């Protein structure tokens, strides 16, 4: 009896591990396939063979130029941004222990928007500086949220409330500016809804080192994230320095989101939904959940971008809109399918 149940248990562990590994393989394959599709489709369509030939012997220089200089950096950017935003959301959900936590909650997106929109509407001559200023604006408003939340340490509820308040104020500023300068708003709409159009290797190079550092810190804090899920006191009992952990994880999240938003504009949906999808698939252990979130974030953004630039080609849609329209129903489907989630 005992040995039978032990055998069954052993089987259960193996099964869970196998399932997790299987899911990882599937996620990575999906990302590779989507990346290839992303290189093939667009205003002109190439076959995989044509792309490979153009890359290897460089015979067809138009294909080469389009693929290497336009589609590759765009796809790479989608992967980096998607992974950053999803990781950021996963980190915040661990710290704030709140399923509604998303990178937007700690003020980084609202701050980046307000500063970017201020530049674009009031000082159009400085538009080249938008990424830099949006990044600074995002971090400053996150800092504001932390400062407001701090009272001999940071409690979760204070972070959330301070975030909501700061978001409301900054959002009000953004709305005010859009109303006052409604004649110029056209050029800003793409940015406000997030777009990967017209991006080159320059942006990828700009983003890559920061994203690499951010993701590294995130991956290294999985033990802390796991402990935080057990509650404040249990985490502290396990030797986690609560305030330090909160600050490091929130700042990493703000940093990853800030740098992404600065380059491609506002993309909200990934950071909220992807961690949940990932949790549904591989469970809540951050050693699996966090990497899975990063991959799925990339998957989601690459596919949304493919749709954004092909369905109404040559008109490009903002990728943020596509994501909400397609990702929402998919998430609801998963939520209904996987039993026991949310109980």
Partner 1 sequence: MISAKGLSVAYDKKNVVSNFTMDIKEGEIVSIIGPNGSGKSTLLKVISRLMNASNGVTYLEGNDVHRLPTKEVAKKLAILGQHNHSPSDCTVRDLVAYGRVPHKQWYEFSNYDDNSIVDWAISVTGLQEFEHRCVTTLSGGERQRAWVAMALAQKTKVLILDEPTTYLDVSHQLEVMELLKKINEEYKMTIIMVLHDLNQASKYSDRMYVINKGKLVMQGCPSEVITKKMLRDVYKIDAHISADQVSGKPLFFPLGLLKNKDTKEMKSKIV
Query: Is 2 among the residues that bind partner 1 (CB under 8 A)?
Result: yes
Contact predicate 283/20, CB 8 Å: yes
C-beta of 100: minimal distance to partner 1 in Å? 17
Query: Is 9 among the residues that bind partner 1 (CB under 8 A)?
Result: yes
**Which range touches partner 1 (CB under 8 A), out of 106-114, 143-151, 179-187, 237-245?**
237-245
Query: Is 227 among the residues that bind partner 1 (CB under 8 A)?
Result: yes
C-beta of 142: minimal distance to partner 1 in Å? 22
CA distances for 254 relative to 9, 88, 138, 165, 211, angstroms: 41, 7, 8, 17, 12
The secondary structure of 214-260, three-state, reads HHHHHHHCHHHHHHHCCCHHHHHHCCCCHHHHHHHHHHHHHHHHHHH
C-beta of 128: minimal distance to partner 1 in Å? 38
Judged by beta carbon, residue 100 or residue 164, the one nearer partner 1 is: 100
- In the numeric block, which tokens belong to residue 269? 């949906």
**Which range touches partner 1 (CB under 8 A), out of 5-13, 51-59, 83-91, 309-317?**
5-13
Given candidates 53, 98, 127, 229, which one binds partner 1 under the rule CB under 8 A?
229
For helices 72-96 and 201-220, what crossing angle results, to 10°?
30
End-to-end CA distance of the chain: 32
Given candidates 239, 314, 315, 339, which one binds partner 1 under the rule CB under 8 A?
239
Site for partner 1 in 284-343 (CB under 8 A): 284-285, 287, 340-341, 343
Evaluate the CA torsion angle 313, 316, 317, 323 in order and state its sign: positive
Backbone angles phi, psi at 57, to 5 degrees: -100, -5
Q: Which residues of the shown chain bind partner 1 in the complex (CB under 8 A)?
A: 2, 5-6, 9, 12-13, 220-221, 223-224, 226-227, 229-231, 233-234, 236-241, 283-285, 287, 340-341, 343
């Amino acid at each position: 009896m005992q040995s039978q149940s032990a055998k069954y248990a052993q089987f259960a562990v193996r099964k869970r591990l196998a399932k997790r590994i299987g899911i990882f393989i599937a996620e990575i394959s999906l990302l590779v396939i989507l990346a290839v599709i992303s290189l093939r489709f667009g205003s002109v369509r190439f076959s995989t063979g044509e792309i490979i030939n153009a890359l290897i012997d460089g015979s067809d220089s138009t294909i080469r130029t389009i693929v290497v200089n336009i589609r590759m950096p765009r796809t790479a950017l989608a992967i980096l941004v998607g992974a950053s935003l999803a990781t950021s959301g996963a980190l915040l959900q661990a710290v704030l222990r709140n399923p509604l936590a998303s990178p937007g909650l700690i003020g980084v997106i609202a701050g980046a928007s307000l500063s970017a929109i201020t530049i674009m509407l009031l000082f159009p001559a400085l538009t080249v500086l938008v990424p830099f200023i949006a990044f600074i604006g995002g971090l400053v408003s996150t800092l504001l949220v932390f400062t407001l939340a701090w009272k001999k340490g940071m409690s979760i509820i204070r972070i959330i409330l301070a975030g909501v308040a700061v978001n409301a104020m900054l959002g009000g500023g953004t709305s005010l500016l859009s109303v006052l300068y409604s004649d110029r708003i056209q050029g800003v709409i793409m940015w406000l809804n997030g777009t990967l159009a017209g991006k080159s290797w320059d942006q990828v190079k700009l983003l890559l080192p920061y994203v690499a550092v951010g993701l590294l810190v995130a991956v290294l804090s999985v033990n802390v994230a796991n402990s935080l899920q057990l509650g404040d006191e249990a985490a502290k009992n396990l030797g986690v320095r609560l305030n330090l952990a909160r600050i490091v994880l929130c700042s990493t999240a703000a940093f990853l989101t800030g740098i992404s938003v600065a380059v491609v504009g506002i993309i909200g949906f990934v950071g909220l939904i992807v961690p949940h999808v990932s949790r549904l698939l591989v469970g809540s252990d951050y050693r699996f959940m966090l990497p899975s979130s990063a991959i799925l974030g990339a998957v989601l953004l690459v596919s949304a971008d493919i749709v954004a630039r092909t369905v109404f080609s040559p008109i490009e849609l903002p990728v943020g809109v596509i994501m909400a329209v397609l990702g929402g129903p998919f998430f609801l489907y998963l939520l209904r399918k996987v039993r026991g989630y949310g109980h």
